[in-house]
Amino acid sequence: MEGSIFSKIIRHFRDVAGGLPDCRKGKNIQYAMADIALSAFSVFFTQSPSFLSFQRAMEEARGRNNARSLFGVERIPCDNHIRQTLDPVEPSELFSLFEQLHAGFDQAGLLEAMRAVGNTRLIALDATWYFSSQSESIRCPRCSRIEHQNGQCTHYHSAITPVIVSPSHKEVVPLRPDFIVPQDGHAKQDCEIAAAKRWLARQSGHYASGNDTLLGDDLYAHQPFFRQVLLHGYHFLFTCKPSSHTHLQEWVDALQPGADLHSMKLRVKGKSNQWESWHYRWANDAPLTEGENALRVNWLEVTMTDKEERVLYHNSFITDWQVGQKNVVGMVSAARSRWKIENESNNVLKTKGYHLEHNFGHGKQHLSSLLATMNLLAFGLHTLLEITDEASRLLRTKIGARRTFFDHIRTLTTYLDFENWSHLMDFMMRGLEIGPYAAQKT
């Protein structure tokens, strides 16, 4: 058996997929649950909607195919059978696989290296849509909906998709998601907060080490949510807009600069190699709201200006960490690393070729969220390979964009059959003359 990290994760996937609940009745059980789930996963991993159809054709022509050799799929079911069999499976059935990825990142030393504020891990909370449609025919009872003024309706699914981020690393590590299901009478924002609370209650225990800081936008920066955050043993560092925290802002504005309201200015060479002024202000032990029960938080703010004093960036945050001259800069860069969840994780889910669920349709029960979970797992495995698999890392460095890397894999696996992942990587390195095939320099 091949020993690559890819094969190891796929073996774990097979073990988990083999135990998925099987609601099929009668004689229609010729395909193993593991084959059905791995078939679906292979489409997300290769980001190729036609991966399975090409592999079926290859099997017919040569008696071999890459779905079997790479993903261990003994027999490839049709898309319709995949859809029907997976629809009743709850996404949480696959969540233990996030721990396998997590362990891989941990062993590679990435999680330790990503530590920031107070030597904690930063977990960014955010919600993203992973499906939306204006068609009346594509929807399920778990769809959320927005009614537009013109009478049309958009049906969508969204999820809380937390990731570990770090100001010093471009990679993000996906964690177990929590899916947002519509609740009667609840506004969209309430649904997101409720889902984030559910994530804290149900999933955060898998990650809480007592030494973690949650990052989030202004939506989460409110007292009831903070109480949950602290109850579950997390620190927090959330965006705090003055417009939605007027009491806190007035309290800060009334402080005496230099006494209770501290500040510091830095001159920094910006991205365009021009000098910028970064002005930090902070105040500790501020009441988040009016009244005696107000939670006390620590407030910080940054304003970045160019040499003409035009504002390039301005934001304020609240945290339970005591803020001082020594940590305010690190605190702001940690808070700003939250953008990576949007650029790295949620964007790839939405736009960069990961949007493949239409392959299998929308389902009536859990299909949409189960496929989104596979999508997140595929994204996590891609990232893990870039970090831990030397061949993948070399190839990505040479080829560039992740999308191009998978374009190559898509084409190669359409025409050629590979014995396993290492064979595929080896073939690519040989073709590009890198790694063991790099021309010897004399």
What's the gap between Cα 119 and its chain centre? 22
Structure tokens at 237: 């560092």
Whether residue 420 contacts residue 70, with contact meaning beta carbons closer than 8 Å, is answered with: yes
Least spacing, CB of residue 134 vs Zn ion, in Å: 13
* CB-nearer residue toward Zn ion: 143 or 328: 143
Q: Tell me how far, at minimum, the Cβ of 375 lies from Zn ion, in Å.
A: 15
CA 92 from centre of chain: 16
Minimum separation from the CB atom of position 280 to Zn ion (A): 45
Q: From CA 353, how far away is CA 377, in angstroms rounded?
A: 15
Q: Any residues with CB less than 8 A from the CB of 243 and at least 6 apart, and which?
A: none
Shortest Cβ 14–Zn ion spacing (Å): 28
For residue 88, the minimal CB distance to Zn ion (Å) is 14
Which CB, 334 or 356, lies closer to Zn ion? Answer: 356
153-160 and 127-133 as β-strands: parallel, antiparallel, unpaired? antiparallel
Which residue, 132 or 303, has its beta carbon nearer to Zn ion?
A: 132
| Shortest reach from residue 207's CB to Zn ion, in Å | 28
The residues, any chain, with a CB within 8 Å of residue 49's CB and separated by 6 or more, are: 43, 356, 358, 359
41 and 51 Cβ atoms separated by less than 8 Å? no
Q: Give the nearer residue to Zn ion in terms of CB position, either 135 or 168.
A: 135
* Cβ neighbourhood burial of 391 (10 Å; 0-12, 13-18, 19+): buried
Least distance to Zn ion from the beta carbon of 248, Å?
38
140 or 255, CB closer to Zn ion?
Answer: 140
Footprint on this chain of Zn ion (rule: CB under 5 A): 140, 143
Q: Residue 170's closest CA among 117, 113, 98?
A: 113
Which residue, 40 or 391, has its beta carbon nearer to Zn ion? 40
The span from the CA of 237 to the CA of 240, in Å, is 9
Q: Which is nearer to Zn ion, 140 or 295 (CB)?
A: 140
Token pair 């955010």 is at which residue? 126
